[in-house]
Amino acid sequence: MLSTSSSSSSFQFRSLVNCHFTMSSFWIIAFSILAFSFAAVKSDPQTNLLNRGCSQYNVTSPSSFMANLNATFSGLRSQLSNDSNRFATAQAARGADPVYAMVQCRNYLNRSDCLECYAAAETQIRNCSLANGARVIYDGCFLRYESNDFFDQTTLPGNVGICGNRTVSQGNNFGANVGKLLSDLVAATPRINGFFAASNVTGGGTDVYAIAQCARTVSQTGCTDCLKVAYTNIESCPPDSEGRAVDAGCFLRYSDRAFFSSNQTTDLTSFLGKGGSNNKKAIIWGVVGGVIALLLFAVGFIIWFRRKPMRERRGDILGATELRGPVNFKYKDLISATKNFNEQNKLGEGGFGDVYKGTLKNGKIVAVKKLAIGQSVRAKADFESEVKLISNVHHRNLIRLLGCCNKRQELLLVYEYMANKSLDKFLFGIYILLIYPYYFFDRQAGYTAPEYAIHGQLSTKVDTYSYGVVVLEIVSGRKSNDVKLEPITQYLLEWAWKLYEDGMLMDLVDESLDSEEYEVEQVKKVIEIALLCTQSSVVSRPTMSEVVVLLLSKGYATDTPTRPTFIDATKRVRGDKSTSTGSSTSNATISMTEASGR
Asked if residue 105 lies in contact with residue 44, where contact means CB atoms within 8 angstroms, the answer is no
How far apart (Å, rounded) are the C-alpha atoms in residues 32 and 1?
A: 15
**351 Cα distance to chain centroid:** 31
Q: Letter for the amino acid at 177? A: N
The continuous run of DSSP H or E covering 91 comes out as: strand 87-92
Q: What is the CA radius of gyration of the chain?
A: 32
* DSSP β-ladder status, 327-328 and 250-255: unpaired
Peptide bond into 239 cis (omega under 30): yes
- The Cα angle at residue 266 between residues 76 and 242, in degrees rounded to 5: 80
Asked if residue 475 lies in contact with residue 522, where contact means CB atoms within 8 angstroms, the answer is no
How far apart (Å, rounded) are the C-alpha atoms in residues 109 and 546?
A: 51
User: What is the crossing angle of helices 429-440 and 544-552, to 10°?
Assistant: 150
Asked if residue 97 lies in contact with residue 132, where contact means CB atoms within 8 angstroms, the answer is yes
Closest CA to 560 of 47, 57, 1, 55: 57
H-only helix segments in 50-189: 62-82, 111-125, 171-188
DSSP string, 181-231: HHHHHHHHGGGSTTSEEEEEEEETTEEEEEEEEE-TTS-HHHHHHHHHHHH
CB atoms within 10 A of CB 164: 17
Write out 275-338 in H/E/C secondary structure.
Answer: CHHHHHHHHHHHHHHHHHHHHHHHHHHHHHHHHCCHHHHCCCCCHHHCCCCCEECCHHHHHHHC
How far apart (Å, rounded) are the C-alpha atoms in residues 175 and 573?
A: 39
CB atoms within 10 A of CB 586: 24
Asked if residue 162 lies in contact with residue 171, where contact means CB atoms within 8 angstroms, the answer is no
User: What is the crossing angle of helices 520-533 and 460-476, to 10°?
Assistant: 140
Residue 370, annotated as binding a ligand: yes
Strand positions, DSSP E, 7-72: 49-54
125: phi then psi, degrees, rounded to nearest 5: -75, -25
Query: C-alpha distances in angstroms, 190 versus 111, 202, 270, 275, 364?
Result: 24, 24, 13, 18, 52
Asked if residue 574 lies in contact with residue 55, where contact means CB atoms within 8 angstroms, the answer is no
Asked if residue 439 lies in contact with residue 463, where contact means CB atoms within 8 angstroms, the answer is no
How far apart (Å, rounded) are the C-alpha atoms in residues 561 and 584?
A: 13
Asked if residue 26 lies in contact with residue 15, where contact means CB atoms within 8 angstroms, the answer is no
Binding-site residues, in ranges, read 370
Binding-site residues for ATP, in ranges, read 370
